[in-house]
A = this chain, B = another copy of it.
Amino acid sequence: MSADAPKFDGPNSLVTAVVQDAATGNVLMLAHMNRAAWEETVASGYAVFFSRSRQRLWRKGETSGHVQKVREMYVDCDGDAVLLKVDQTGAACHEGFESCFFRRLDHGKWRVIAERLVDPATIYPKANEADA
């Protein structure tokens, strides 16, 4: 990988990953990647992150089936963020919405502006499952 690649200073160094729907341009979610997550994403063609709460690789969709097939990968100017354009199966958000950004500020109040695609209770075995 060239010097322009994401900057991983060590195995636990993280970059931020923005995930965008390749077809609609909707921003779906933010997550993090360590070097292993990045390399597995490149090799497999499916989004793999590093879960900070679980401190392990998080193969997006491993529980829910809501995988992200990666179409394009970008890195930002200073190498601490990447952008993935993906084909999203199901819902990106563990709350069952297409996107984690389902609340918009509307005259000083937060308003849910999307419909829930999936009932989280039907896909996650444990309550309060943080990763999807």
Contacts and interface: CB of A to CB of B under 8 A. Distances in A.
Interface of A: 1-2, 4-5, 16, 18, 20, 24-27, 29-30, 42, 72-78, 81, 83, 93-95, 97, 100-105, 108-110, 130
Contact of A77 (B78, B81, B94, B108): B94
Contact of A110 (B4, B29, B94, B104): B4
Contacts of A1: 108, 110
B76 A30 contact: yes
B74 A4 contact: no
Contact of A101 (B27, B74, B93): B74
A94 B94 CA distance: 34
